[in-house]
Amino acid sequence: MGFLSKLFGRKGDEEQQKAGGMEDFMTLIRVYFQAVMASDLGITNMAALPDLRVFKATLHVPTQNNKLGLAEKARCKKMLKEIYGMSDDFTKEIEQSIRKRCKKPQDIQTYMIQFSAFSQDLLMLTGNLMKFKLRLPSIFKSAIRTMTEKTVSDIFNKNDFSDAGVMKTVVAIRQYDQKLGFSQQWITDFVYRVVMLAKKEKRPSDTDTK
C-alpha cells in the first residue's frame, strides 16, 4: 500500500507513518465527500476541493464523461472497501447526507466544518466513555464492536450522564448529527473502524511527546 504514503505525502520513519492508518482513512473520507460534491454540484474548480485535487493528481485518475468527481468517487469507494472494509451502505449514506444538505457550492464549507466538529467530538467522547475497554487486544473484534455499538447508542439515547462536560458534548454531537443526518449504524461503523485503526498504530515514545 505504498501508494497511500505517496498520496498523502508521508515522510520519515516507516513505523511512525503507516499507510492505511487512521489518518489515511480520515483523508479518504474527505476525498469521498469532495468527490460527491463535485459530481453532484458540477464543480470544476479544484482549488475548492484540496483533498480531491491531491487524490486525482497523485493517482492520475482520468476525468469521466468530462465531469469531475465521478471517476474519483468510484476509485475512492473501491479503496475504502478494499483497504478498510467499508460497505456500500456506508458510502451510500454519505452521498444521501450530502445531497440533502449541499444544494449549492456555498454549502460545501459549512458541511465540511460541521462534519469536522462532529467527528472530533464524537471520537473524543467515545474514547473517553470506552476508556479501559479499549485495552482489549484487537483479536476481540466482536467484543469491541459490541462495546462501540453500546457507546454510540448511549450517546444518542442516554440522558443521565453524571459528568456535566460529557452531557454538554453529547448534546453538541446530537445537534451536529441533526444537521448531517447520519444514522447510528453509520456512526457505529465509522467509530469502530477508527478505534481498530488507532489500536494498530504505534504509540509515541516519551521522547516524542516531550
pLDDT tens by residue, 160-171: 999 999 999 999
CA distances to 48, 49, 71 from 63, in Å: 17, 15, 6
Q: Which helix (H) or strand (E) holds 166?
A: helix 164-180
Report, as an integer, the average pLDDT of 114-128: 95
Question: Using CB atoms within 10 A of its CB, is residue 127 exposed (0-12), middle (13-18) or buried (19+)?
Answer: middle
3-state secondary structure of 42: coil
The answer to whether 177 touches 118, Cβ cutoff 8 Å, is yes
The answer to whether 69 touches 76, Cβ cutoff 8 Å, is no
Residue 202 has pLDDT above 90, yes or no: no
The reported pTM is 0.85
**pLDDT confidence of residue 203:** 53
The CA distance from 139 to 106, in Å, is: 44
The answer to whether 76 touches 30, Cβ cutoff 8 Å, is no
pLDDT digits (tens, 9 = 90+) for 25-56: 999 999 999 999 999 999 998 888 999 999 99
pLDDT above 70 as % of the chain:
82
